Amino acid sequence: MKVELVQLAGRDGDTAYNLERTLQTIAACAPDTELVVFPETQLTGFPTADNIADIAEPLDGSSVRAVQQAARERNVAVVVGVAENDAGTFYNTTLLITPEGIALRYRKTHLWASDRGVFTPGDRYATALWKGIRVGILICFDIEFPESARALGQLGAELILVTNGNMDPYGPTHRTAIMARAMENQAYAVMVNRVGEGDGGLVFAGGSAVVDPFGQLLCEAGRDECRQIVELDLERLKAARSDYRYLDERRLQLPGERIEHADGRRELLIP
């Protein structure tokens, strides 16, 4: 599976600018790319409590529809973040959009300091089947909690996609965390972070990375805008799980209601 990591500098609150760059990037992806991954809240940037009602969009809004159209035209799947407005409740949301539409929606469950008072935390973890691979999504601060990735592992995730908005001085924290989360769940992990400056004096740390199911870094970006293309060897999933499987060996299981959907999605509700 060929994946493109798109590490960009965004503009907080400037959806038109962010959307234009997103669509340009999708249009320019390699012909055989199957998955394009962007940073956290790529479409809207990070809102504040004062402006979120003006910035956040419903998932059937114009920005998400435009990304859906671009995914259909290039026959590629896109992982992209947005400040979501669900009937007046706001979520930090990442979507897996395939040429057929929205295949997976995840609302950030662990809110960072600047998220609190702006977003409502999500209430579930979810995976979906895409091209025969079970895919799950996490967002930024989530990966600092082993239970988040373990919830996806418990749902059978083989590929963990992380949209990131991690800032200085926490780049090394996420480098360590994403390697551990991949190894613990014997799954691929793809993490794409933002770069450049944001509102409030933030400087985003970059460091987008792909980690294999053994916890080994396959690629790692610097601090500048870039596009990296990585081929995931899915046979390594089998190799990593051939001698032992952490999910089978563990003595504790995460609580929560598990829901199986007819379309192949699985959810674990947070108790």
Q: Is the dihedral of CA 210, 68, 91, 49 positive or negative?
A: positive
The tokens of 124 are what? Answer: 């579930």
Q: Choose among 147, 220, 139, 151: nearest CA to 179.
A: 220
Q: Is the dihedral of CA 37, 38, 39, 41 positive or negative?
A: negative
Distance CA 36, CA 1 (A): 11
Residue 129: how many CB atoms within 10 A of its CB? 16
DSSP state of 168: T
The catalytic site residues sit at 40, 108, 140
